[in-house]
């Protein structure tokens, strides 16, 4: 954990102690921490998709059948533990949580990349801001895998073979 992450967590803990609603600043701080937990740095959506090794089987099939731009256009970075639930956890425990415990929460719940169709299934099941790994993925038939290399590395290798 670096100084940037520690500062963001201190900010979140302070906000959780004093604010009931999650505003845009809190949301962005949580997203930045999620980005760091997922790929080790802050980045935009497409870059996270190119670097994230944890994807659904559907996203893996897509990755192997299209170019990287199309892959990025047809996938979504999904929070297995919705940001709203993490915020509620922070608010409920802000007075007792350590910086390390908060970082572990983000690290233990990194984003996954799913297809847009899978994301629509999650939303259609009513779990846009609720649920857990079991209800959001397993129960909906979405299987997650960890790739041996990033999608970007995969595409670089496949281009070199051509």
Q: Is the pLDDT of residue 59 over 80?
A: yes
99-152, pLDDT tens digit by residue?
A: 999 999 999 999 999 999 999 999 999 998 999 999 999 999 999 999 999 999
Average pLDDT, the chain: 95
Residue 50 to residues 17, 64, 69, 100, 114: CA-CA distances in angstroms?
A: 36, 13, 9, 28, 12
Q: Are 38 and 111 in contact (CB under 8 A)?
A: yes
Q: Are 142 and 56 in contact (CB under 8 A)?
A: yes
Name every residue whose Cβ is closer than 8 Å to that of residue 23 and which is 6 or more positions away in sequence. none
């Amino acid at each position: 954990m670096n100084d940037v992450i520690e500062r963001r967590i201190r900010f979140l803990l302070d906000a959780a102690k004093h604010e009931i609603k999650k505003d845009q600043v809190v949301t962005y701080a949580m997203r930045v921490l999620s980005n760091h937990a997922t790929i080790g740095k802050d980045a935009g959506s497409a870059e996270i998709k190119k670097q994230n090794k944890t994807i659904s089987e559907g996203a893996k099939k897509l990755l192997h059948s299209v170019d990287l731009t199309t892959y990025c256009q047809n996938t979504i970075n999904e929070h297995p533990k919705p940001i709203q639930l993490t915020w509620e956890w922070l608010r409920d425990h802000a007075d007792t949580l350590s910086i390390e415990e908060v970082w572990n929460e983000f690290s233990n719940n990194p984003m996954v990349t799913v297809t847009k169709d899978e994301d629509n299934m999650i939303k259609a099941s009513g779990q846009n801001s609720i649920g857990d790994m079991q209800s959001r993925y397993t129960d909906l038939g979405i299987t997650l895998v960890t790739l041996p290399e990033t999608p970007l590395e995969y595409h670089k290798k496949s281009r070199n073979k051509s």
